[in-house]
Structure 1
Amino acid sequence: MKLHPIKLLGTLLALFMVQICLAQDPPTPVEPLLDPAVQNSINKNNPTTNIKTNGSGNDGVKEDTGDTNTEAIKEEVDTKEKEDESKIKFDLRQSQLPEAKIWGQQFFRDQSITIFTASRDIKAIDSYLLGIGDELAITVWGASSYSASIALDEEGFINLTNPSRGIDIPRLYIKEMRFGDARKAIINRLENHMNIKNSQVSIELNYARSLTVNITGEVFNPGSYTIPAVNTAFNALVVAGGPSQIGSVRRIKVVSSRMEERVLDVYEFMNNPNISNEFFLHNNDYIYVPLAGRVVEIEGAIERPFFYELIDTENLTQLIEYAGGLRPDAYRQNIQIVRYENDEERLIDVNLAELMEKGLNFELKDGDRVKINLIKQAYANYITVKGAVKLPGTYQLDTNTTVYDVLMKSGVIRSAVMERIYIKRLQEDLSLKYIPINVYELLKDSKSPENKLLFPFDEIEVKYKSEFIDKYEVKVYGAVRKEGSFEYSTNLVLADVLYLANGIKREASNSRIEISRLVLDEMGNSTYIVFKKFDISSFEDSLKVAGAVDFKLKPYDQIFVRTSKDFKAPGNVEIQGEINWPGKYTMKDEKERVWDLVQRAGGWTDIAFLKGAKLMRKEEGLVLLDLDILQKEGEKSRYNYILRAGDVIILPKLKDLVSIAGKINHPAIKDHGEIASKELELELEKAETEIEKKELLLALFKEEKLNPRKINIPFHSSRRANFYIKEYGAGIDWKEGGRRRFVYVRYANGMVKKTRHFLFFKVYPKVEKGAMVYVGAKEKKIKKDREPISWYKVITDTLAIGFSALSIYAIVRAIQ
């Protein structure tokens, strides 16, 4: 058969397109970058450029009457609510500002400086400039009495006259006067009309006028703001968010039509907060924040590493001052400056110690990075003393420090070996040298040749005498009250060791004691042999054993106190539940069985559930038990087990219900299963590795097996599991993986039977009272993440296959 080349090429191209379609992933929905609800909240809370304050001041005199009306209270509440709402918006905006880039910008963002939003109840400082609209509260008490709230009128005067009390005082001009000076002027004016010397006077700012300030330049929120006049330029900048990331903190200009231009310097304010008093504002003043000038970074062994803005002649010395000064561990001999100059990065070494000594400075440029290195070399002027001294540790080393000097400081104790100590010295080639010293001669004469000079890092070790003495032990095992090892002495006898072991136990009665001893053979190899045996006749005295007083022990002896084979501690078993006399019972002998115990306990009650009886055994767990079969078959029943000490038999009350659980369509089970399935899918998505996913599935499997969600239903005699699933469970939930072959029944006594297969049929297990029918599910497969398709690889592989096929076809044609 001939293959046409054109047809073959068309077939290969069709295969290529099919491969591309099969390899392509389905499109995935694109999630929004931000939750719309969150975005709407941010849009709603977008800060405005104006802060409005309520409150007004009336011209003339207002005599305090102490009366409050409903409208005033309501107005005050409304004002408070507006102020709270404004503060919430302001705090939200401040929290969204970025971290400061230049030191000083953070003071306008972290609320180190606050803004006064209320016009009332503000305590004015002496440098506050009074203006039209301000209201003063003046109170005089004592020899004279006077009380009034007075506002500055349009001409800048205050009227102190109080006609109701017959007080006639000429007006006083206080506009543009500082609050402290105005207070003195008011007191002087009052002195001419009342007895002020024998009275007390209180003059406070009752209401601050509002003014408009224009903030421009490099700030986060430039604009015009209406604020109480008690705010300075520092406070006003907070309203606008303060200088931006590139805004200056050293050359902030305050321009006013009534005063000369002022320059606000945040660093000067930090060193002297009182300068803020010179920056009170007038109506329609301008605050301009220019770009930052020279910005230099300092890092390393400095108290406050950060970026700092320098002005005019400020350089390295001033930078260190602004950064809080050097740390104690700063290395001053050489600090390093990284500079960008002539299109390259340069490293400059500066001897800061020399500059500080000569009172010089070092010029810094914009973008410089100053690194203060740490002192990394540890101190070397020390020696170490350890061992048998009163105060071991390190000691200072001077040029003439000797061994005698150090031993006098550390104090040699009596248990020290005085014949010889060693100085361990590190040589220049890093090798060790041991220098012996005779302590006796040294302590007798400090000028003896033994009193050698010490060098840095020398180590003196004084040995304990006990370190040259071998310590031996003897060991005791078996029926004693305290097993263990005991230190050997040359006069130690068997009776002593029995005493140290708190005597022998009662179960050692009519037994014996064996002692094994270490001996050496001709080859010098060690071995243990049983050296001596002592009989224990009776337990009259736990410390008296014939011959024990005269038997001396040797090092490494091992003493074994045997337990009598006739001694048996009483064993207890327990029976609980629907039994006539429940409780613990001592076993008669080792051959006592379940039926014997039931008879001793008076038999079971009328409501005992014999099919649900359980036997719990230590170290083995659940032992299946069926008292119904035991009752029918009698003592020869296979369930008439021999009891062991610690066994517990549990006999529950009669049960007449059956439960059903697992993957069934019953709403009470299915709804809960769907929710659990969704939760599992979310957890599996969060898992990063295959191991984590398998652990989640295993935990879910254990939870479903041990504590499944179930429903209780009535018992039907002679019915199998499939009947209950169909009648009460609404069938198997196939969507959730339920399968007939996974149906099993767990009976009340713990026995489990599963569905069997007979030819082409399934035989479901029978159901008894108290049993649970469970529908299992097939194991869920973990979806593996598909790797992204490499279209380049798909195309190249397809073309390679195509060309290979064409080559083979051409070769075959050539051969033909």
Structure 2
Amino acid sequence: MRKVITVLLMLFAMFQSYEVFAQDLLKASDLSTLKVDNLTESDLLKIKSQLQSNNMTIDQAEPMALAKGMSVTEFAKLRSRLVNQQGNGGTSNAKSLAEGSERKQEKISNTKVKDTENALVFGSELFDNPTLNFEPDLKLATPVNYVLGPGDELQISVYGVQEFNASIPVSVEGKISIQYVGQIAVSGMTIEAATQKIRNAIAGVYSTVRSGQSQVGISLSRIRTIKVTLIGSKQPGNYSVSSLATVYNALFLGGGPAKNGSYRNIELLRNNKVYRTIDLYRFLVKGDQSDNVGLKDNDVIRIPAYTQRVSVEGEVKRPGIFEMKKGETFADLLSFASGFNELAYTASVNVMQKTAKEFKVKDIYTSEYASYKPLSGDVFRVSKILNRFENRIKIDGAVFRPNTYSYYEGMRISDLVSKADGLKEDAYTKRARIIRLKADLTTEIVNVNLEKALKNDAEANIVLHKEDVVTVYSVLDFKEEYKVTIDGEIKKPGNYDYQQNLTLNDLLIQAGGLTGSASKRVEIARMIQSDEINDKNQDKAQLFNLEITADNNEQVKNFALEPFDVVNIRRMAVYEKPEMVTVTGAVPYAGKYVLVTKRDKVYDLIQRAGGLTSLANINGVKIKRPIQGAQIEALENVNLNLGKKDSIQDKLTKKLKEDLKYATIPVDWKSITKNPKNSSNVTLFPGDEIEVATFTEGVKVAGNVLLNSEIPYNSGKGFNYYLNAVGGVDAKGWKKKAYIIYPNGKADVAGSFLFIRSYPKVMPGSQIVVPEKPERKKLSAGEWVGFGSVISSLALLIITAFK
């Protein structure tokens, strides 16, 4: 009986431990007997709820559970079951358990407004750039002077023999509550002082901390949000910022100073007193962030109106509007503007000042830069240096180094030629030209005898002035450019330079030699030169007829050419390359054939191709002749007098160029076979294509008919039969203008006589085409009225005339 009671007590204790563990993991004193496999889903939900209420993760709870006797194996099972349960629907809990101790802060943002009013004010761009937000870096170590307050959260860990881990927020009363330790007031204390206080409090509970066997780690895991107020900014108001935020961060959120706000006398008010005066120019000019101090809850940033602003325009590196403090000089202003640029005139600066009644102008010289104190409203204008040189002189022409050189007092023409490395071989030494700028800015020409000047002749070797431009002529400048012309059967016809002793042989070689069609005859035309006019001689040129050996580009006599000679190489009397035509269709030997004679005709070529086959349509022989460029050009040159706005001629030209690649010539083969001298037996041209159609019994009907189709040929049936066979013409069809195209390319159109309409004969292989009716503009009501009035007037005139 005693054994039974002992077993029951053990079972009761086991179930009791399960229930205690499930109800409060942190308060259970002994977890050595816990079996995770026996926990229900409800027990797991209670454990997760307990961890969340204590702001703990499962990993943070591990040291505590192991310290209370729970085995590593059982805790691994517990972690696995919790994670699996989170995957089956506890997404938000899984996220909470998986989060580490990374420092957090509420996201603070503000929409930036582009500053257009203050665009020229120096420093305004600082608050328009979204990449310059001065947000504190949450990953940096916590500053030791950071003051704790409600909303902060501390991560407290005990590690070593004894272990403890918890994230504990600072309550609104400024206290933190640590399990088994109690409440500790930390508000208003620095993180360094609070760490020492918390460590001492934990040491009073954890003996191993007191003995040094366990260590205490305290860090800031969540940063509180504080309220600051901005006055005088572009977006004034109350702002929630990080407790690590600085003045610059708050100014950026507020958009910076307003239209008339100061950039140099910004006040940070703390406890109703001016804690610090911020000068943004220290940061803008020097990068000094000493004014970028941290903010505290309920701080006020006041931006007063500026007291003194000046403008800088012109040749400085950073023109704009600048704010000046009392005692600052123009030299300070120049440093704000980053100094003069490369083209600035630095000897003096013009400033426009404002008096009580009007403006006045003042010049500030270099010696006054460090002493002149700008006045409010001053406008400084920095001008450009003059576009002129104080010591420039130039030489060009027939010298080795034409260039611009530095001038010195007493410089002579020989000195400048020496600087240019002397004269070239083609220099004309009898005269050089100097273009000189006079005192009244007009120019004059001074001529120099270079030959004497370079021999140190005192009179010729004149003294130069600054801005002189010396030109040394070349003898080649006075030489006329001579040409000769060669044309005809030469590979590279054209104009060539004439050199002394140039011969016909030299020119032939220079022009690439003769073509294969060149004859032995050469004609050379030479201009006639005479100082007197001979009315009896009407010749304009002198002709020379020579003979050359065409196969070696040499003439019997080496003829000397003269300037402006024109050489013509004549073509051989007979020199024609074989030219071909094409025969296609129903012939035995279709293909390309060479025109043997100049008068080869259709009949000759078809006979050479073997004649017509049994399948050939004797009514389907035609010639397709390519349209030549000369035909298009002739049409373009013809004036049809159609008016400027009429496009008929342009359409015709375009059709010939793009659509119609060839013209069709119908051939009456029956007439040719009876009489080869028939006019249908035309003479062929190179490129012609003779097409012999294959016999077909169908008649195609196309155009504006109900059904485009091909109808079998029915002997004796007329035009209307085939139109009716395809359903007749449609609503837009123009039957009276219908036409037929025969197999040989010939066309015929319907006609009428005395109201009797006749249609062309239909043959096998023909094509009937029904065109579309042209659109007609209907008369408006006004036009009908006008037409009626005209008829009425005419009727009245007729009646009056017969009375």
Corresponding residue for residue 515 of structure 2: 505
Q: Distance in 1 between matches of 2:238 and 2:745?
A: 82
Letter in 1 for 2:471: E
Q: Does 1:365 align with 2:365?
A: no
Partners in 1 of 2:197 and 2:751 — Cα distance?
Answer: 110
Could you tell me which residue of structure 2 aligns to residue 110 of structure 1?
129
Q: Is residue 348 of structure 1 aligned with residue 361 of structure 2? A: yes
Confirm or deny that 1:565 pairs with 2:565: no
CA contact (8 A) 1:423 1:437 kept: no
Question: Counterpart amino acid of 1:452?
Answer: I
2:534 is equivalent to residue 519 of structure 1: no
Deviation of 1:518 (Å): 1.7
Tell me the residue number matched to 2:495: 485
- The amino acid of 1:562's aligned partner reads R
Query: Which blocks of at least 5 consecutive residues in structure 2 are unaligned?
Result: 1-51, 63-78, 203-207, 210-215, 633-655, 712-717, 778-803
Q: Using the alignment, how far apart are the partners of 1:182 and 1:630 within structure 2?
A: 120
Could you tell me how far 1:455 is from its partner in structure 2?
0.5
**Matching residue of 1:14:** none
CA contact (8 A) 1:251 1:264 kept: yes
Counterpart-to-counterpart distance in 2, 1:489 and 1:543: 20
Please tell me whether the aligned partners of residues 335 and 372 of structure 1 are also in contact (alpha carbons under 8 angstroms): yes
| Equivalent in the alignment of 1:211 | 226
d(CA) in 1 for partners of 2:547 and 2:323?
96
**TM-score, normalization: structure 1?**
0.61
Distance in 1 of aligned mates of 2:306 and 2:450: 73
Structure 2 residue 119 is matched with structure 1 residue 100: yes
Q: 2:450 aligns with which of 438, 452, 458?
A: 438
Is 1:532 equivalent to 2:532 in the alignment?
no
Give the one of 201, 219, 226 matched to 2:240. Answer: 226
Alignment of 1:227-266 (within 5 A): 227-257=241-271, 260-266=274-280
**2:293 match:** 279
1-structure distance, mates of 2:578, 2:725: 49
CA deviation digits over 1:56-107, x for unaligned, max 9?
A: 99899997589986326668999xxxx9x999x956x646977735232222
Q: Give 1:787's aligned residue.
A: none
- Following superposition, the deviation at residue 494 of structure 1 comes to 2.0
What fraction of aligned residue pairs are identical, expressed as a percent? Answer: 23
Q: Deviations over 1:752-781 (max 9, x none)?
A: 9999999999999999859685566689xx
Instruction: Please name the residue that 1:803 is paired with.
Output: none
CA contact 1:474–1:486 (8 Å) conserved in 2: yes
Higher RCO, Cα 8 Å, sep 6+: 1
Q: Is this contact kept in 2: 1:211–1:229, CA < 8 A?
A: yes
- Asked if structure 1 preserves the Cα contact closer than 8 Å seen for 2:625 and 2:664, the reply is no
Asked whether the equivalents of residues 354 and 360 of structure 2 are also in contact (C-alpha less than 8 Å), the reply is no
CA displacement at 1:399 relative to structure 2: 1.5
Q: Distance in 1 between matches of 2:373 and 2:768?
A: 92
Q: Distance in 1 between matches of 2:305 and 2:740?
A: 80
Deviation at 1:742, TM superposition (A): 15
One of 403, 409, 413 as aligned partner of 2:419: 409
CA distance in 1, matches of 2:306, 2:465: 56
1:795 matched to which residue of 2?
A: none
The answer to whether the 8 Å contact 1:611/1:627 transfers is no
Between structure 1 and structure 2, the one with the greater Rg is: 2
What is the CA deviation profile of residues 582-636 of structure 1, one whole-angstrom value per residue up to 9, with x for unaligned ones? 7765444554567766776787998999799964423134376456665576588
Counterpart-to-counterpart distance in 1, 2:396 and 2:188? 82
Q: 1:354 to 1:566 in 2, by over 3 A?
A: same
Q: How many residues align?
A: 636
Identify if the C-alpha distance between structure 1 residues 276 and 580 changes in structure 2 by more than 3 Å, giving closer, same or farther: farther
Call closer, same or farther: CA 1:753–1:462 in 2, change over 3 Å.
farther
The one-letter code matched in structure 1 to 2:569 is V
- Give CA-to-partner distance per residue, 1:656-714, whole Å, 9 cap, x none: 574669xxxxxxxxxxxxxxxxxxxxxxxxxxxxxxxxxxxxxxxxxxxxxxxxx9944
Partner of 2:3: none
Per the TM alignment, residue 343 of structure 1 is displaced from its structure 2 partner at its CA by 5.5
User: In the TM superposition, what are the counterparts of 1:626-665 in structure 2 within 5 Å?
Assistant: 626=664, 644-645=685-686, 658=702
If the length of structure 2 is used for normalisation, what is the TM-score? 0.62
Secondary structure of the corresponding residue to residue 230 of structure 2: strand
1:494 aligns with 2:497: no
RMSD between aligned alpha carbons?
Answer: 6.1
Q: How far apart are 1:561 and its partner, in Å?
A: 0.6
2:314 paired with 1:300 = yes
C-alpha displacement of 1:319: 3.1
Change (3 A) 1:400 1:624: closer
- Rounded to whole Å, the distance in 1 between the matches of 2:53 and 2:330 is 52
Instruction: Give the CA deviation at 1:393.
Output: 0.9
Deviation readout 1:315-342 (Å, 9 max, x if unpaired) = 5433332222211211234433345544
Specify the code of the residue in structure 1 equivalent to 2:523.
E
Counterpart residue number, 1:71: 92
3-state SS of 1:463 partner = strand
**Cα-to-partner distance string for 1:237-265 (whole Å, 9 max, x where unaligned):** 33344444444433333333397433333
Q: Is there any run of 5+ residues in structure 1 with no aligned partner, and where?
A: 1-55, 195-200, 662-710, 733-739, 780-816
CA contact (8 A) 1:120 1:208 kept: no
SS for the counterpart of 2:289 is: helix
Please point out which of 541, 556, 567 is paired with 1:546. Answer: 556
